[in-house]
Chains A and B, each alone.
Chain A
């Protein structure tokens, strides 16, 4: 273990300024998480330009803290007003809101907070152990293996959010295509610049990220009415009793394991983790009949799983340079923007960042326990902000953020066009997350493909000489065919269970 790196990482975070910035990020994260429509991915994208002048490690730590807190924030409104602020909190609402309706809102919030913190902290220890291990394995990878790994990461796009694997893949490949705009790094030839000098350096992540997450959502929200939700008035904070804890500790442990593993899988997300956490909590519960009517295990399961998923998703992002979710794709873009080289080399060149992120996420977990619980009532009031003020504010942030990055109007146009195209694409099922993942991974995949072709003297069959490549290719094939295989396997199992 690199003691120097640990000390440097912890020291970077344990300064008054860094702690203050992390607390601000937590506050922002819980707020954004609590607001339906605003996602932590969007918030991280909007935060990016703000971090330009900061120490890069602190900047990344802030984003990690926001990611953690945003995941928890969704549960507050899910419990109090049955309006999950973030998709992972949908499962929390199933039992959290019935608990609140019968006057146990404080207890539900307490269970959610304890389960979130429990899941978050336990998975952080898995993260700190797994990331360097994974990175040390990946260090032996040559360009061809890295290409195969990145291809696997891209193939996982098929299973990311949304209803259509096909559309996810098309959106992802379009993302990769956009990353080829500009001067070709090997030959110095212009590609898709259409003679415009501003495109020589390519299309930057930041305005695209802001546009695709913020502007397309804004257009979607423009036709939504102001929903009046039933509010639970009395929110007396009540931490779980000893009996409650005895009942949920196994659920928290189980969901932490599920959430961490789901989070580590590239392109799976905290929403999947939360749903699986809920299902498993119900399956293992001694009182499955209480689920849906106000079971505390039904709150603890998804909350522990989705918060564990955030640390899990950071593992492939930092160790392999392959994002584990939409938000980590934005964090990956931020790492690149701040001059880091994500992947195994990050652990070798900047090992302190791993420990800094660990410390920041640890602080974030404790912070949202207090901020979230003590301020639950305030955060539930956030939903009262009319959308007629909320979304124009998001637009102002988006314009300023896109402009500030390189101080050119061109980026504001890129942001706006990305938003408009993103809105139309989203209507037809092409999600923003696969596009962003393709955009972020695009340069990496082309670089490794080019280097491999140079090494192989253009003989692509030599990819199959490497057992690691073959393993990743098989995994890629399985991942691509999984949407088609799943129904077949399900049908086979059904038939077998019916046959006497």
Chain B
């Protein structure tokens, strides 16, 4: 049975020209995969070579090269895959038709920021920052719940790992207090 959300090529305005057998988004995805493969294949040629007796018939670059050629070959099929999927009534665009909302990018940047400042702030304060900032970013405004949560949850987690599992976390700017 045809998937209810399955669309024909060209259904989406400005998304896929009906005349082209290549899927426009997958063409870009395939190009990215091929570019990564090309770069990594080039890197494999820079691996040091070892004498045949030491390499025992297996040079360090051989296996990764084989894999990369295989991935590249599969990537070449990607832009055409939609033709087969369409026949089966499978909509390969269903998960990516809608662009990610700005909150996804903001969250990603926030995560990078929290991890980035963690060596300076220390793990404990970093966790508190994450527990406070992420709910705020996602629209949480119930301060009576948020503040105790942001203080208590990271403290319990930190204590569990630091005391229970003897993990030495990054001390950061308040590290001397715990020493």
Contact = CB atoms under 8 A, between A and B. Distances in A.
B107 A189 contact: no
Interface in B70-109: 70-71, 74-75, 77-78, 81, 84-85, 87-88, 90-92, 95-96, 100-101, 103-104, 107-108
A50 B166 CA distance: 11
A389 to B, nearest CB: 6
A453 B81 CA distance: 34
A177 interface: yes
A419 B115 CA distance: 13
B134 interface: yes
A52 B165 contact: yes
Number of contact residues on B: which range applies? 35 or more
A388 B146 CA distance: 10
A166 to B, nearest CB: 5
A386 interface: yes
Contacts of A50: 165
A234 B78 CA distance: 51
B112 interface: yes
A453 B71 contact: no
A423 B103 CA distance: 14
A191 interface: yes
B103 to A, nearest CB: 5
A429 interface: yes
Contacts of A481: none
A419 B85 CA distance: 28
A176 B108 contact: no
Contact of A173 (B74, B138, B140): B74
Contact of A403 (B33, B166, B169): B169
Interface of B: 25-26, 29, 33, 40, 43-44, 47-48, 50, 54-61, 63-64, 67-68, 70-71, 74-75, 77-78, 81, 84-85, 87-88, 90-92, 95-96, 100-101, 103-104, 107-108, 111-112, 114-115, 118-119, 123, 126-127, 130-131, 134-135, 138-140, 145, 149, 153-154, 157-158, 161, 164-170
10 contacts: A163-B91, A173-B74, A190-B48, A222-B101, A222-B107, A223-B100, A223-B101, A400-B123, A413-B115, A454-B58
Which 8 A-B residue pairs are closest in the complex by CB-CB distance? A392-B134, A388-B140, A184-B60, A189-B60, A458-B57, A223-B101, A388-B135, A222-B107
